[in-house]
Amino acid sequence: MPRGTGPTIEELEFVFGCFARGLETSVVLEEIEGTEFPKRDPRTIGRYRLYWDVARQVILRRELTVADPIIARAMQQHYEDINNGLQLLKIYLEPLAGEGPEGEISAWEPQPMDKIRADDLLEHVADPALNKAVKRAITDGPEAERRVASRIALDSLREILAMRLVGGNCRHCPNPLEP
């Protein structure tokens, strides 16, 4: 197979049909052998399976929200809560990173619901570097280390805020769909 050759719609329909039947990657590769589609390696089929899973989640969520406005509202409120968690972290980290007024940096002691919102944000984003930076920044320790960690975390949080898109799931997602 030439490198860089993307799948056709027909090929994806065929492979997605195999996934819908519950076939494993090795069986999908065998099924492809008898078709006009190019030979693919297991990693490519694994990538197609990821496409299938994401597309299926998007479609199921859309159907679920159209069918049930209560779930749609709960999902909207959940994403507002996640955005609040982002804002809370950002507001706490800015002075620690040396932005804004200087002064004593108080300990990270959010209200219980605010902590849940911030934790849910980090679970949705699922970025180990962000999680590590936030944890280092909000934990007592040398101010210089916390300042560096705060800057790293703020850069990531601002990118998330600029995209206005948080993917993933957390244990508090109001829908029954799992990744």
Whole-structure pTM value: 0.58
Give the whole-angstrom CA distance, residue 68 versus residue 74: 10
| CA dist 109 → 19, 63, 94, 138 (Å) | 46, 39, 16, 9
3-state SS of the chain?
Answer: CCCCCCCCHHHHHHHHHHHHCCCCHHHHHHHHHCCCCCCCCHHHHHHHHHHHHHHHHHHHHHHHHHHCHHHHHHHHHHHHHHHHHHHHHHHHHHHHCCCCCCCCCCCCCCCHHHHHHHHHHHHHHCCHHHHHHHHHHHCCCCHHHHHHHHHHHHHHHHHHHHHCCCCCCCCCCCCCCCC
Instruction: Look at residue 103 in the predicted model and tell me its pLDDT.
Output: 65
Among 135, 149, 156, smallest CA distance to 96 is for 149
- The segments of the chain whose pLDDT lies below 50 read 1-2, 177-179
